[in-house]
Each structure stands twice: as structure tokens, then as C-alpha cells.
Chain A
Amino acid sequence: MTSLDYHRPKTLDEALALLTKGVPLAGGTRLTARLRGIVGLVDLQDLGLNRIETTDMGIVFGGTATLQGLVEYASHLPEDLARAARLEAGWNIRNMATVAGTIVTGDGRSPLLTVLLALNTELQFAPGDERVPLDEVLGRGDDRTRGKLITAVHAVLPDRLRYAQVARSPADRPIIGVAVGVAQERAAVRIALGGYGAHPQLMSWDETPDAQEAADQARSMLADAGDQWASSEYRAAAGATLVTRLLKELDLE
């Protein structure tokens, strides 16, 4: 029978050393049901990485900070960031799942991942304390994370943030989700398109884009976004609509 080793390190160094023997286990909400082929687990719960704190630059989620921790920190956060965490999962799972784990395992249908991409989010890895922009990590599979731990998720809080999604019901996974983050007044804008694919897609401008230009670009990016849940034609139209609508709500028309 296949055996599985479980490790629960007490220190980061110990955890990093154990990564040669297994994969990181944060909340486990995705991993537990998918243990086939895994020979070892490195449980991160005792590393003390569950802090959430506000800094001058934004907000920092420790590597094992939970989604519920984020929700309970809502008074310090843009409303739609907490709302995206709520949309991500129900209470029970939010008590277990981590922000970092959601980033690593989430796909394009993740509301939180879509919103985090619209923020200027960076992942801090150990060893080395390297900080890598989220959009550089997404789509790279294990390349950027193998043998490393995410010790923190740094999200630059924007001046304004909006998230909207179209789904079959209010709490269903999005068919199309759009997050718009505005870093400075009428300046840098990041728009993330989610609801499909392996991960959300990013559009960004250093200065406020023309709404029509942004909508057209969204439509273009969604031109091949068809799957079993929606056609590309629909996603392109609905995505462009949401982009236009959110920019208008943010007075960025």
C-alpha cells in the first residue's frame, strides 16, 4: 500500500528542509481529497504564519492566514475584497482554507484570485524572501513554487476596488468575473478577468484607460474564452459590459 508521511514542523527552516520529503499542506481543503501520488505532507499550521496586518503599502496576509481571517478583517479592507473571499467558499471552508492556498490551487473561477490579481499583489517566498508579482506566478504551474513556501501575500490596497460577477445564482462560481483596482486617483488601473480558464487574466494601464478601450481589450482577451460553461461570444460581451460598468461606477469612464 502507498504510505504517506506527515510532518508538522515548528519552524520555517525546518519546514523548508522538509519540502524535499513532501508538499506543503496549508488548510488542506483542496489537497486532502487529492493525495494520490503524494508521499509526504508538510503541515504549516504551527509556523505562526497566520497573521493579517495593515502596512503603509497595503495589507499582508501570512502564508497560512485563512479566508475567514480575511473576512473578519473586513473593516480594514476594500469591501469587495472581503466579498470575494465570501464568494470563494462557505464559512466552514473559509475557516480552513488559506489565502495563499487559494492562490496556489485556485483557477480562473476563483473570485478571490481575480480580485487579488486586480490588486498589486505579490507573493513572498522562502527561502530568500523573494517577492514575486502574482501575475508572474499564475500560469507557471509548479515552476515558481516548487521547493518554496509562500510566507506572505502582499496586496497593495488600491484607492478603489470593484468586483462584479455573472453567475447562475448569487453564490455560484462566476461565469465571468471582473475586478477593477485603481491604484491612484485616475491613474494606474488593473483589471482582472476571471470566471474561466486556469487562472484569471490581467489587463493593466499606468494611466486611466478610455472605458471603450478597456472594454474592447477585455472583449479581445475573452475572444477564445469559451468552455463548457459559456461561449466565448457571451463571455466577451458580458465581460466588456462589466468592465464598462465598473469603470463607470468608479467614475473612470
Chain B
Amino acid sequence: MRIEFRLNNEQVELDVPASTPLLAALRDQLAVFGVKHGCETGECGACTVLIDGEPVNSCVLLAAQAVGKDLQTIEVVGQHPELGWRRTEGLSPIQEAFIETGAIQCGYCTPAMVLAAQSLISNNPNPDESEVREALSGILCRCTGYLKPVQAILRAAAVLRGETPEPIDGRIPAPAELFGPPNDGSPSMDVRGGGLELATRVMPRIKVAPEAESLRIVGTPARKVDAVKLVQGKPAFAADIEMRGMLIAKILKSPLAHARIKSIDTSRAREHPGVAAVLTWEDLPRVVYSTAGQSDPIPGPLDTFSLDNKVRFVGDRVALVAAESVQAAEEALELIEVQYEELTPILDPRQAMAEGAPKIHDQKEYVDFDKSDASRNLAAEIHIEIGDVEKGFEQADLIVEGEYEVPKVQQASIEPHVVLTYWDEDDRLVIRTSTQVPFHVRRQLAPVLGLPPKRIRVIKPRIGGGFGGKQEVMIEDVAAHLTIATGRPVRFEYTRAEEFHAARSRHPMRIRMKTGVKNDGTITANEMFCLSDTGAYGCHALTVTGNTGHKGMALYVGDGEFREAPNILFHADVVYTNTPPSGAYRGYGVPQGCWAVERHMETIARQLDLDPLEFRLKNALRAGELQPFSTAWSEGRKPVPETIHTNGLEECVAQGIAATGWSEKYGQEHWHAVSGKPYLRRGIGVALAIHGTAIPYLDMGGASIKINEDGSFNLLVGAADLGTGSDTVLAQQAAEVLGVPLDDLVIYSSDTDFTPFDKGAYASSTTYISGAAVVGAAEKVAERIRARAARMISQRGGKAVKPEQITLADSRASAPDGRSVTMEEVALNALHHEDQEQIMGVASYVSPVSPPPFAAQFAEVTVDIDTGQVKVDRLVLAVDAGVIVNPLTASGQTEGGMTQALGYAVCEEMLYDEAGRPRELDFTDYHIFAAQEMPALETLFIETFEPSHPFGVKALAEIPMDGVAPAVGNAVLDACGASVNVAPITPERVWRELEGKS
């Protein structure tokens, strides 16, 4: 049908089928890519457009419904202020505020938030915080925790009212003593709207490491280097591209949890109008591989085929279709006739290894890794013994045992998995994909596609969130096979339902703890048995569950003689079931372990009537000690003992106590009661956490830097910024070395043809590993600059100066006596004038250590003791992640991490019925926290200076995931005595504990 509407101040006409959603019309026909696809049912809001000034979701609005309306998208909100000789009005105050406050992480939902903010402020110039949160209530963000977007909107409203908000401060000086109650004394923006004081502020509080105080760019809240394009909704993501002749791919999914395919008849589908290709297992080479995006050799079994003659979960692949349109592809799927031989499924991991259990992987091509044993449905087995736990138990005064359970949950990045493939003019296959691991994609797919890696180019554009879900070579093969089959470009994008059907998730686990402890609280032995469910395929089976022990069980070594020689046992069976595969998810096994260990420690402390924090710190790992598991296990490789050099845990606890007012709350009956509501009880809880920083002797990152004629630099990294801000913090480290402003670093990541290798974005490694590589490359460049500058300065007269005397700062190379040349002069000299050379440096880095960050996570809750309903009121994270390169992006990481972890604590859970069909297929049933329901969030950075990194950094990305759930569980226990050992802590689980019905 012919439709017309006004779009961004221009009248547009379209010819579309009446069933076309407005989102599809805007993106596919009008190339309006600022409108994003996140779901098809209107829950996520990434597709927000303004219609007659009001925000609506274009995925659930037909294009026909927009006829006669006035539509606005992000494309006309603002633009770069300088476009060559043309000056523009620049970005809007809302866009500026989003950049300034660090409200943009992956940027996928940013256009929607900016539009919602514009609509709000145009109707209400003086909104209060609750009104701002309500305005964001229709837009889900998985990265930020909403705090900074709320601040951005309040700040923008103030600017638009003609007010001048305080500037965001740079460095925050270390307090003389403890931080004290929230928001006292620390410089911060004080933007108030509608008279409501904000619960929290943009800038986190930081105790700066003395060694880092002299740094100029590292440690500052620099603007994200990708913020300007993201806030404009530029076509920066994988699907934001038009290609002539592009086909749409769809997958026929298995309706059965376990079955053999007896026959497939695709003849009707192949003949269907618009269909270009239909592929089944009979059409493809039978190449077994692993979808886990990991370094070579893959530390796990090879158990996957692009298409197989067996299906292993509801949603598993049966056939692939490429067609001219989504509709044609979906219609073709319905024309494929499949006959299945239904097999008995295994849905309960406890039955996977039972005698006579059906074998999920009975294919002859299966390749074992380590102790995997497909005949027993065992994807991995891990057994680690440190010391002698039996002897330790004998030395204990008390043995405490407990069983704990954690659910399957999904990363739920708002940008779904999406890939686009095409042959380039050299007959090389280009894979433009939303991935955390571009180099692994190239290496791992090559044999699957029958191509050498050199004939594959993987481009990683901006990523709309990953959280581990895109550390997987999961869908790239679908588009690639269809491009090979048809010779045409193919786009394949998961729907939200397909994400829940078939994308990866956190491994659900059942964990049994046994701990020996003396009456004074000394832990004598600690044992964990873990049954981990990898689902239908063993991607990340060994390594995720290994980390459950490696980090989850590493923190509490005991005290006294046990500190010297701890007794720890960790055993895990990682089993196959006929459920969607588990995989990597931020935290990578540690949140599971942390739930069990920290709930267990709370139980022990209470049984011994010990202060829970004193008990924990008495037994906790300290600086100068060995990470106990480093002596015994390293993701299937040879372990090398590692000494902990920095550990700010005790100060994290002290600062957290002060910031939360712990002493006035814990154990204080008057605080627990809620006036006038006897059925409500407050509680406060804590959990401590340890994580890692990269995988030692394995994870490698590379970087290259070259100077340009204006004294700017191109920085190329293979590292994958998936919204974390890693491009920014990497550029900050380069700028610090080179003595130039961040604006003079032009960073690009990543493209397997052009950027150096990097293993990718996982294992909390980028700032540390890739950062060290960037520093190495920058130092090589700086050395060449100093040499040339010394010669240039000497040539200009006066006393000769040596290269080692040259300092780089403020875009100048300066001698001790003040003579200097600009970086531009150095560049022109090198490239055009004298002894011409391209000043550039290439470096890579692999670390011999994995310095752990530490954290103390506090939670406050209110529990309805009649219904079991839990409301989380406040989360405070005090974390030692080494030196903080950028407090804005770093606190964005902690706030977003705590928010994801909050879902893990109370509401996120993926369940399956007796036939293996999922309960959750959208964001209504799979509830993730929205802006209007968030608790107060606060981050305290307690810096240490990690000596193994040039700027003292450690990891930060994952540790915010670890402690929230157990801290909330412990707070619930504190509130009402309900000891809930199964996450998430649902109202019914609390109620059952209170009623003695669990």
C-alpha cells in the first residue's frame, strides 16, 4: 500500500505491505538507522520514535498507522558542530548532557532515551527525578543502571531552563579518613529538578592511589570517544548498513527437545516465491566445532555442527532459509516438512549422568577435551584439591554444610545477535558481526566454511551490548553458509524470542558446600561440589565452571596455619541436558560460586555468632599471599603460582561500612522495623568478592599507533569495545604516554584485516591486557618522537638536548629549559621534511599474572514478611580495581553490573516445561530492571596501584556481577530470618522459608 507521513520535517512516501511495522519501514526502506531493533513486542523501546511529539515504539506500530503523522527520529536532533567549512548548531543540550555525564555505554538505546527526554522536557521543563525515570520507563537499558541517563536528562533540563549546572569534576582527592555517608563532601554535580534531591550522583567517590595522582589523562572523566556518533544514532552497528541484493536469513527451529531428523522435504520451500536458498544438514560439510569464542586450542569439547541430523533442544537448528524478505523467509519455513524420531529428553541435570540416561551426543565426530565423556553426558569434569580437606575437617570445631542453587539467566543485550555476510571483490568473505571476539570468529569459522582464515575478513562495528553473550561464534555461520550458497549478501538477526530460544545463558548450577571452622571463626577446610548444566552443547563448559571454583572458592583461605596452607576442594561435573546451551555471561562462573560461598559464610557467621564482616576478613586472602587456585588450575592449561600484590579488600569493607551506615543498621532492632507497617522489615547484607584480570600466559592483545601530519594519532586495536568504554580508556592510556589530549587519538576497533590481533572482549582483560599493549605501542612512538624532537630543538640553536631529556605534554615535546616543538611540527618533520619516516609503534602484551580485583558489596532491602515480597532499596559497591582510568565509564560499568546482578538476585530466571519449552520468550516474562524501579546505586573506588600494569590498573567489568545476589540474600536473612538458598529470591521462596515450607 502507498503511505505518506512526515519524517524529520520532510514528507515521505512509501510502498509497503500493510503488515509492515514502522520500524522495518524506517530501517529497511528509508535507511533511518537511528531507530534500533531490540524486540518485536514493544518492551525494550530501542525503536522509539516521536510521533506528534510523543515517544512510541515503532516495532509494534504499523507503518500504515503513521500515515498523516509527524515523525521524528534521532537523525534530526543534533549534529556535529563542525562539518568541514559548514558550521552547525551542534548537538542538542540533551545530547551534550548524555555525553558529559557518561550516560552512553553501548549507545544502542541512547537515541531512544534522547528522544524520550526531548518529549519530556518539551512538556515539562522542570522534571523531578521520578518524572525523568517515568519518562525512561519504556526504554530498557542493559548497560547503565539508568543513573547517568537520569542525571543527563536532569542536567539537560537545567541547561534548557537557562541554568548552569556545576561542571563535572576531574580528580577526586582521597579523603583524609573514611568517605562517610553518601554524597557528603565529594565534588559532584548538584543538578536538581523539581526540588527533588537525587539519591546518587554521576561521579563515583574515589580514593586515589598515591602513585596515580600525577597522571594527567588517566584518571579523568574523559568523554567517551564514540559518544558523539552514538548520541546521534549514526549507523554504527552491524545491521546499520544497506546492501544491494541483500537476502534475509531465517532458521527453522526444532519444536522438540531431543529428536533425530528422519527426513526433511524442502522442495516446497525452495519453490516459494522470493526464496533464494534452503539448506539442511545434507547440504553442508560435516565439520564439528565449538561455538565458544576462545583461544586456540579451544578448552572444551567439539560437539557442534552448523546443521545436524539430530536436534538437542527446543529451538535447535533444523534448516536455514535465505529469501528476499522476512515474510518470504518465514513463509518458506512453514513449507519445510520434517519427520522426527522423538527421543527421550534430559531436562534435569541431576539425571544426565544416571545409568541408562539417553546420550545427547552420540555422533562419531565428537572430540573430547580433557575429561569430557559424551557417553556419560559429561561435557567437562573439574577436580581441584589444595591441601587436605579431610584433615582440615578433622581440625574443625564445627562443620557447616549447605546446598545452593542458581538459575539459568540470559545476557539480554538490547541489540540482538546480528550478522551480515558478503563476498568482496576479491572473493573474500566479509563477516560484519556483532561480536566480542572477531579474531576467534575468523579462526573458528574457517574450517566450518571451507575457507582459509586469510579469505575471511571479520568486521566488528559498534556493539549494542554483549556481556559474554557475544563471546560466541553463534550465528555467523548461518549467514555465511547462505552467502556461499547464493553468492549474495545475507543478513541474519535473531528476534528476541529467538534469543531466548537459542542464544547462550549463564550456567545454572546446584552447589553443595561443606566448611570446617573453629569456634574463633578460623576456616580449616572448604569444599564445593558443583553440578553445572551446560545445556545441549558444551560451549564454555569447562572454563565457566572452573572459574566457579577458581575464583568463587579462592577468597577464604582460612587464618593462621590454614592461611599458610589452605585446605580447599572443588569438584564439578558439567553435564549436557536438552535445554538451550549455556555459555559465557559476565562474571563467567563466579556469580554462581559467589552466591553459594557468600550465603554459606553468612550462615557460618551466624551459627558462631560472629560479626559477618570480621569473620570474612579474618579468613580472606591478603596481599603477599598466593591465589590458592593458581597453584592448581588454569582453564585446562598448566597452572603457574601467582602472588597477590594488591588487595584493597579491608579498606573496601571499611569504606562500605561508613558509606552504608552499617554499624547503625546491622543488629540494630530499631532500624529493622518500619513505622506503621509491622509487616515490613528492613535488612542489610554484605558479600565479598574476588575476580580475575585476564587469563595469564594466554590472553594477548595488540595495538598499533601511527602519527598523522597534524600531530594526531591513529590507534588501532583488536580489542572489542562492546559498549564498555574500552576504546576510551585505551585511548586515554595512549594519550597519557604521548602527552596529547584524548581528542588527538583516533581509535579504531576492530577489523581482522587492519587491526592487530586481540583475543577479544572477555575475562575482564581489555583495560589491563590491551591497555598494556597500547602503552607499549605508545612508548615506542614516544621514543621516536623524543629522538626527533631532540634533534629538531638542538638544530634550532642553544644547548644540545638528548632524547631522554624530552618530555611529552600538552601536545609538545619539551626540553628541560623550556624549548619545545609541537607534535604537529614533529609529524611534519618526520613525514615530509627530514629523514622521513612513519613514526609508528606496534606492541602486544600477554600477562604472567591475573591480578584480582576485590570488592565489598552491600545491599539494603525491605521485606514484606506476610507475602515474602522483597524490595531492594540500595546497593553500594566498594571495589578495588586498581587505578581507575576513567571514573565515568568505570562507574557506568559498576552501576550497570549491579543492575544486571540485581535481576539475578530477584527476578531473572529461565525455566522450561516438561517438554523443554521455554517459559520466557520476551521482556515481559523475562523481566529486567527498568528505570522507574531501580534502587539507589553507589560506587566507591578504592584504588590500589597494581605493579604489573604501567598505570596500575586491574579489572573491573565483571566483579560488580558477583556480590549483589548473595548480599541481597543476606539482607533478606537479616531482615526476617528467611534463609533463601535458591536464586532468584522470589516472593514465594521467601514466604516458604518464613512459613517453614521450603
Residues of A in contact with B (beta carbons under 8 Å apart): 1-6, 8, 25, 28-30, 32-33, 35, 41, 43, 45, 68, 86, 89-96, 166-173, 175-176, 228, 230-231, 233-234, 237-238, 241-242, 245
The 3 closest A-B pairs by CB, nearest first: A90-B138, A92-B138, A168-B907
Residues of A within 8 Å of B135, CB to CB, are 91
Chain B, interface SS category? loop
Among A30, A95, A169, the one with the most B-chain Cβ atoms within 10 Å of its Cβ is: A169
Q: Are B64 and A245 in contact (CB under 8 A)?
A: no
Q: How far is the CA of A231 from the CA of B988 in the complex (A)?
A: 8
The reply to whether A170 and B871 contact each other, CB–CB distance below 8 Å, is yes
CB-based contact A45/B65 at 8 Å = yes
Contact between chains at A4 and B139 (CB < 8 Å): no
**Alpha-carbon gap, A95 to B42, bound state (A):** 12
- Give the complex CA separation of A233 and B64 in angstroms: 47
Can you name 26 A-B residue pairings with CB atoms under 8 Å? A1-B327, A3-B18, A6-B18, A8-B67, A25-B62, A32-B60, A32-B62, A33-B42, A33-B59, A41-B62, A41-B64, A89-B138, A90-B930, A92-B57, A92-B116, A92-B139, A93-B60, A95-B55, A166-B864, A170-B871, A170-B932, A171-B927, A173-B925, A234-B992, A237-B995, A241-B867
Given contacts A1-B327, A169-B907, A241-B866, 7 further A-B contacts (CB under 8 A): A6-B62, A45-B65, A68-B54, A92-B45, A175-B986, A242-B867, A245-B679
Determine whether the beta carbon of A230 is less than 8 Å from that of B988. yes
Interface contact B328-A1, CB-CB below 8 Å: yes
Given A6-B1, A166-B987, A173-B17 contact (CB < 8 Å):
no
Q: Min CB distance, B989 to chain A, in Å? A: 9
B120 CB to nearest A CB, Å: 9
Please indicate the chain A residues that have their CB under 8 angstroms from the CB of B590 in the complex: none
Chain B residue at smallest Cβ distance from A90: B138
Task: Say yes or no: B55 contacts A1, CB within 8 Å.
Answer: no
The answer on a CB contact under 8 Å between A32 and B21 is yes
Residues of A within 8 A of B331 (CB): 1-2
Q: Does B228 contact A (CB under 8 A)?
A: no
The 0/1 profile, CB within 8 Å of A marked 1, for residues 40-55 of chain B is 1111010010000011
Contact A91 B138 (CB under 8 A): yes
Name the contact of B868 in the complex, choosing from A33, A94, A238, A245 (C-beta under 8 A): A238
The answer for the CA separation of A25 and B62 in the assembled complex, in Å, is: 10
Tell whether B503 is near chain A: CB-to-CB under 8 Å: no
Known contacts A91-B137, A171-B930; A29 and B871 CB within 8 A of each other: no
Question: Nearest CB to that of A238 among chain B residues?
Answer: B867
Q: Which of A6, A8, A94 has the most CB of B within 10 A?
A: A6
Residue from A33, A45, A170, A173 in contact with B60 in the complex, judged by beta carbons closer than 8 Å: A33
Also in contact, A96 and B137, with CB within 8 A (given A6-B18, A168-B927, A237-B991): no
In the assembled complex, the CB of A3 is this many whole angstroms from the nearest CB of chain B, namely: 7
Near A by CB (< 8 A), chain B positions 913-929 give 913, 919, 924-925, 927, 929
CA distance A167 to B872 in the complex (A): 12
User: In this assembly, does B190 line the interface, its C-beta being within 8 Å of a C-beta of chain A?
Assistant: no
- Closest B residue to A71 by CB, please name it: B134
Is A43 a contact of B64 with CB atoms below 8 Å?
yes
Contact between chains at B869 and A29 (CB < 8 Å): no
B139 close to A90 (CB less than 8 A):
yes
* A3 surroundings in chain B (CB, below 8 A): 17-18
Is the CB of B283 closer than 8 A to any CB of chain A? Answer: no
In contact, B60 and A95 (Cβ under 8 angstroms): no
Given contact pairs A32-B60, A94-B138, A43 touches B65 in the complex (Cβ within 8 A): yes
Cα(A239)–Cα(B933), bound, Å: 23
CA distance A3 to B43 in the complex (A): 27
CB distance from B914 to the nearest CB of A (A): 11
B-chain residues with CB within 8 Å of residue A2 when the two chains form the complex: 327, 331
- With an 8 A cutoff between CB atoms, is B215 at the interface? no
- Cα–Cα distance between A106 and B708 once the two chains are bound (Å): 61
The chain B residue sitting closest to A89, CB to CB, is B138
Verify if B937 is at the interface (C-beta below 8 Å from A). Answer: no
The answer to whether A28 touches B913, judged by C-beta atoms less than 8 angstroms apart, is: no
Interchain nearest-CB distance for A157 vs B (Å): 24
Chain B window 976-998, contacts with chain A (Cβ cutoff 8 Å), 1 for yes, 0 for no: 00000000101110011001010
Which chain B residues in 102-156 approach chain A with CB under 8 Å?
Answer: 116, 134-139
B29 sits at the interface (CB 8 A): no
A168-B984, A172-B927 given; A33·B17 CB < 8 A: no
CB distance from B901 to the nearest CB of A (A): 13
Q: How far is the CB of A247 from chain B (nearest CB, A)?
A: 14
Whole-angstrom distance between the Cβ of B921 and the nearest chain A Cβ? 11
Known: A4-B18, A171-B930. A96 touches B919 (CB 8 A): no
Q: Given A1-B331, A90-B930, are A228 and B911 also a contact pair (CB < 8 Å)?
A: yes
Q: Across the interface, which residues of A come within 8 angstroms of B138, CB to CB?
A: 89-94
Interface residues as binary, B465-502 with A (CB distance below 8 Å gives 1, 0 otherwise) = 00000000000000000000000000000000000000
B929-A169 in contact (CB<8A):
yes
User: How far does the alpha carbon of A169 sit from the alpha carbon of B868 in the complex, in Å?
Assistant: 12
Known A41-B18, A86-B134; contact A172-B907, beta-carbon cutoff 8 A: yes
Q: Closest CB-CB distance, B761 to chain A, in whole Å? A: 29
- Is B273 interfacial (CB 8 A cutoff)? yes
Q: Which of B887-943 contact A (CB under 8 A)?
A: 903, 906-907, 911, 913, 919, 924-925, 927, 929-930, 932-933
In the complex, which residue of chain A has the Cβ closest to the Cβ of B328? A1
Contact B61 A32 (CB under 8 A): yes
Q: How far is the CA of A2 from the CA of B334 in the complex (A)?
A: 13
Closest Cβ of chain A to B905, distance in Å, is 10
CA of A234 to CA of B137 in the docked complex: distance in angstroms? Answer: 29
Question: In the assembly, what is the distance between CA of A161 and CA of B661, in Å?
Answer: 38
Q: Any chain A CB within 8 A of the CB of B19? A: yes
Cα distance A166–B865 in the bound complex, in angstroms = 12
Instruction: Enumerate chain B residues within 8 angstroms of A176, measured Cβ to Cβ.
Output: 867
Q: How many Å from the CB of B145 to the closest CB on chain A?
A: 14
A25/B65 contact (C-beta < 8 A), A90-B138, A96-B60, A173-B924 known: yes
Q: Is the CB of B328 within 8 A of A169?
A: no
Q: How far is the CA of A171 from the CA of B932 in the complex (A)?
A: 8
A contact residues around B225 at 8 Å (CB) = none
**A1-B331, A169-B933, A238-B867 known; A96+B61 contact, CB < 8 A:** yes
Contact residues in B for A242 (Cβ distance below 8 Å): 867
When chains A and B are docked, how far (Å) is the Cα of A45 from the Cα of B64? 11
A-chain residues with CB within 8 Å of residue B40 when the two chains form the complex: 33
- The interface residues of chain A lying within 8 Å CB-to-CB of B67 are 8
Does residue B56 face the partner (Cβ distance < 8 Å to A)? yes
Q: Roughly how many angstroms separate A43 CA and B135 CA in the complex, as a whole number?
A: 27
Min C-beta distance of A31 to chain B, whole Å: 8
The answer to whether A5 and B924 touch across the interface, beta carbons within 8 angstroms, is: no
A110→B185 CA distance, assembly (Å): 45
**For A5, what are the chain B residues with a Cβ–Cβ distance below 8 Å?**
18
For A93, the chain B residues whose CB sits under 8 A away are: 42-43, 57, 60, 138
**Closest approach, in angstroms, between the C-beta of B150 and any C-beta of chain A?**
14
Across-interface contacts of B65 in A (CB, < 8 A): 25, 28, 43, 45
Partner of B906, one of A35, A91, A168: A168
CA distance A4 to B64 in the complex (A): 11
A45 to chain B, nearest CB (A): 7
A35 contact from B19, B137, B991, Cβ within 8 A: B19
Q: With A33-B40, A166-B869, A245-B679 in contact, is A234–B988 under 8 Å at CB? A: yes
* Chain B residue, CB-CB nearest to A168: B907
Interface string of B6-43 (1 = CB under 8 A from A): 00000000000111010000000000000000001111
CB distance from B437 to the nearest CB of A (A): 32
How far is it, in angstroms, between the C-alpha of A238 and the C-alpha of B995 when the chains are bound? 12
Name the CB-closest residue of B to A22. Answer: B18
Q: In the assembled complex, how far is the CB of residue A6 from the closest CB belonging to chain B, in whole angstroms?
A: 4
CA distance A249 to B41 in the complex (A): 37
Task: For A175, list chain B residues within 8 Å (CB).
Answer: 986-988
A21 CB, min distance to chain B CBs, angstroms: 12
**Distance to closest chain B CB from A175 (angstroms):** 6
Contact indicator B57/A96 (Cβ below 8 Å) = yes
C-alpha spacing A91/B133, complex, angstroms: 10
Bound CA span A6–B3, Å: 11
